[in-house]
Amino acid sequence: MSTTLFDTAPDFNQPIAVLKHCHDRIRKQLATMEKLLAHLPKHGADADAQKAAQAVLKYFNNAAHLHHLDEENNLIPMLQATARDADAVLLAELVPGILAGHEQMDRDWSIIKSQLEQIANGASSSLSAGDVARFCDAYAAHMVVEETHIAPMAKRLFSAEQMAQLGSAMQVRRGITPDLPSSQVPEQQAAPVNNTVADGVVLADLRLDYGRASLTEHDVLDDPIAQFGKWFEEALHAKVNEPNAMSVATVDADGKPSSRIVLIKQYDSRGFTWYTNYESQKGQQLRANPHAALLFFWSELERQVRIEGKVVQTAAEESDKYFYSRPVKSQIAAIASQQSAPIASRELMETNYDAAAAASGDHPVRPAHWGGYRLDPERIEFWQGRRSRFHDRIVYVKQADGSWIKERLQP
């Protein structure tokens, strides 16, 4: 009862076909689980059962979540930014269920995963039929909705440029370098600016005149989150160095500010999420004043995005999900380090790491002091560099009813 994971996939210049291909592979793994349910009572966790469990674990641990991220971070925001009238109404009805389905399937998978790991190791032959049925039924219904409504809408509404953008984002997510035709390479990838400065140049004379692009009120989308997603994808396409790096500025109880660079791990309609030690300097400052400012600066595109709002901790389940997705060594480092606290030497840090590694083994447990923060945006400003310091600035401000207004600011 072996299941192969090798089959021919469509090219990423057909991103909707790739998503359907992902669905087909998911269906194969769901079928394998159902066959495993029938196999185990008769044969136990024999070699065939172990191989089947390993195949299912391999796919759902390594690949299935990418499909969810394709939808959450790219396909759905792009559709929301493009759809109008009846399409927009249908999206508004479907998207909450799709996102809730992702969360439910992730929870169900965590339950089935532990059972499959025992079977894959030959340690158990127990697999709950109820858990499998709930997981398979949810996935099957979820895929029908997407294939019936979401995929056809994308095929109908997306331009060739949008399809290329979606396909490229999917490639980047899978560690594949996008190979875009020259006609689809953003203009911003033209010859890079030479920033070399000769000795003796006065600091005040260091000046770069911007002029690669412009930004008007008609260029930007109505939803600032969707607009951020558009710019973020363009930063990926332009091979910006660390496009996910952002400055996080906080203030302490006395009003003294500090900032540092962290990596964003998720953005959606709820806000912008990163993970850290809650006892770090920024954690302590956020307890005293739960407001922060984020800044993305993409010099290659002459762009920056400023985001301000209130910060809350993510749910423990979200923190668990991200913590256990990290390499084991990174998990141990989070346990071993008392972030921002003084320490006598690097050698003592290494000693603490070795002790944490010995205590944790292959399965570290997320410490309660480590988890996520999410900034719920109240103000988002998009800045495009222009010549003679006459820059373009478009700002969105959230209203009491949750809607956004946008306006131009003077440079």
Residues annotated within the binding site for substrate are 265, 322, 326, 330, 389-391
Binding site feature residues for FMN: 260-265, 275-276, 282, 304, 339-340, 383, 393
Residue of 107, 287, 389, 408 marked catalytic: 389
**Partner residues linked to 370 by β-bridges:** 277
Nearest CA to 127 out of 139, 115, 111 is that of 115
174 is catalytic: no
Contacts for 254 with CB less than 8 Å, ≥ 6 apart = none
Q: What are phi and psi of 292, to 5 degrees?
A: -150, 165
The annotated binding site is made up of: 260-265, 275-276, 282, 304, 322, 326, 330, 339-340, 383, 389-391, 393
Q: How many CB atoms are located within 10 Å of the residue 36 CB?
A: 23
For residues 12 and 171, give the distance between their C-alpha atoms in angstroms, rounded to a whole number.
7
Nearest CA to 184 among 233, 129, 130, 254?
233
Indicate which residues carry an active-site annotation. 389
